[in-house]
Structure 1
Amino acid sequence: MTEEAQDPRPVSRYELEKETELRFEVEPGETVELELVSGLAEVFGTELTRHRPYTFAGGSKSAVFTWHGCCVQLRGRPEVAYVSRDTPMLLYLNCHAALEQMRRQAEREGERGPRVIVVGPSDVGKTTLCRLLLNYAVRLGRRPTLVDLDVGQGSVSVPGTVGALYVERPADVEEGFCVRAPLVYHFGSTTPGTNIKLYNRITSRLAEAFNQRCELNRRAAVGGCVINTCGWVRGSGYQALVHAASAFEVDVALVLDQERLYNELKRDLPHFVRTALLPKSGGAVGRSKDFRRERRDQKGSFEDPDPELHADFGSLQERDPLSCFHNWPLFGTPGARPESPARVWKPRISGLWRRGGSRVVVTAGDSCVVGEAGTSSAVGPKTRGLCDLRAQSWGRKKRRNGLCNIVNQRVKSPRSLGKRRYPSLPY
């Protein structure tokens, strides 16, 4: 008997017209297999392969979109599955086209590419939009950077951290982006309000590391970055959003589903920042606190039964601090004094994860480091983080690349923008 005959789960087939999408949710404890039978389709910007089954675990929420029409089938019992014609994908594609125009202009003029911040309240699809824009850029041969400032969920590393990931290939439909060698800072809480000053300082330090990466890597500079943020948009949370925009010197701000936040950013951000208000997808649904807690536990538990996720303390020895990252510059914990590269202390380890070829080291200080297998390193409490190998201050460059109007994709002349500089940050 064939494998299909042995599988007793029901099979549902859907014929999708062009510019429609199939939305489905998987019940906890169940799995659903998705298969593209004919046509062309994608999941959050990642193109599907025909006749290949994709497995979605319990609690997953996904959408299959097609530009030209397709036929897909679901094997299993999804909690809900329906076809929708009301989708904001055309607007999202318009944003991608505008950003690509900015990258091409930056490539011609020798400047840096667009830096985009995606903001909005909780459960409006910020992470999904970031993934979509990154996938579309990578499929055109760009190398953008994902900057994750959402300490509550953690797209790059475990919850309670912020990080940056150099994206070289589209995200996997089931697993997401390949987290091979990101740069990660440990914040220590799933809410920025626990220590908003530390959160802002870590954001500034991450921006400095990204700026240095752009100076050393031309493709990273042209690709720009897409910044995912928390859903806290009031009070100190709003000030943290403005701080992040200033630290990364963003060119474009995409606001999802909140007109008030859109008008506040239009008022407070510099005049050269293009701000666009986008609708959220109908598939973006609210998530309960219990669901969020369960997802965090799955990502960052020390007691994960997954055999690929296990503790390994044997390979941590004193070594050259330059071996920590071969792709990222090293920066110390915010507030730490720069130390000599020769002074590397054995760390007091709070925990160490390893999944596949990546490791995450959480030290007793305020930093979290992710490196490839065999290159993990950290420093102890005397240095409280990685050594800052470059103690000089980094001046902010004037950015002269053209800015694109998100609505009609009209590129303004750099000369008409005048001097563009963010105000200096307190930390």
Structure 2
Amino acid sequence: MKRDERLWQVSQGYRAPRKRGRVGQPRCLITEEQLQFLLSFNFTVQQIADILCVSRRTVTQRLRQHNITIRGRYSNMTDAELDERVIDLVQGNDELGPDAVRARLFGEGIIVQRRRVRQSLLRTNPAGAALRAMSHRMHRRTYRVAGPNSLWHLDGNHKLIRWRIVIHGGIDGFSRMIVFLQASNNNRSSTVMEQFVQAVDQFGVPSRVRCDHGGENNAVCLFMDVFRGTARGSALRGRSTHNQRIERLWRDVWNGLSNVYHSLFTLLEQDGILDINSETHLWALHYVYMPRIDQDLQRFVNQWNHHGLRTTRYMSPYRMFVRGCLRLQSQNLTGVQGLFGADEGPADEQPAEQAVRPPVPTFNWPERVAVPANTFAVEPGRLQELQHRVDPLAGSRDRMGVDLLQEVLSFLLS
């Protein structure tokens, strides 16, 4: 950390309290819980020292005092065991690189050195490593936001809409931390609102949200206008191409998992196993693959939020969010203050740039992408029997659920 950054944090951010003794300098009070919390996000010793505004030596002494070892946190699994786990995580997806795989392992509680993960990928999939080496790095526009929870970006992804599946997501603009990511069989406003509320319960209420003009965002925008105020631009609506953070995320979601399901469903149609014009077939597809997609999305969220970002000196989104909250807790930032017990409500801030435009009634925006509801229904008794016979998350990974889909179709059509 540069000297001017250190001076700014000392004056504005969190500082470890000190306790005076009879002699010598006051002692820094750093608890074991604080150290374990910061280490759980994979902060380095130097980063912990910067956050607490103490020296690296002080952190090292406190770690030793509480019998906490850094090296002991690394997994001692053999190369063969690591290769087997990497193959299981990658599942033939050549787009996943060392940082993504390492983040997925960390999300499962397995901490492995980057060097070992890179070597494992070379051993298990050398062709994929060569493909990634030849790919071009994407150049992005400069993006800046005040702090954590200052601006959330919301959007829906329609890559799988042919099969009536929509993925809704939200990302914190400051840290790039995914706050929610979930697949649905509809594009209703109530669905997006439900996911947004779950994210708010976990991460707090953002100061502002940015989304497009789709009607699926109406409930969230209404909530933000009521909770934060209407004259400050609490809900910024515009074209999806201007929603930079979430649009970049969709590219990684496609590379990470959507492309696999898109190719699989297309192949199922070509082989005559799936008929998208049949409500029964679509019901069976959702029964088997919606839980699988959601499970993979949660794995992706863990991977994304734990992976190091090149432009932030390989700080993960989780670490960026935590460090930003601690650094800015004394600032009058609406999105941060609520995390530290400040009274929530309409924010007294300068209006956002778009707030100077004439206000548009929230519900004037139509739902641009409508997903037809499935008209096929299963009797409760038959559904219970099916749930007893077929677990959507069971089966061999090599089969990718195709055998389960065929079993469900056979049951429904019998």
Q: Could you say which structure has the higher helix fraction?
A: 2
Same fold flag (TM > 0.5): no
Of structures 1 and 2, the one with the larger relative CO (CA 8 A, separation 6+) is 2
Larger strand share, 1 or 2:
1
Range of TM-score over shorter length: under 0.3
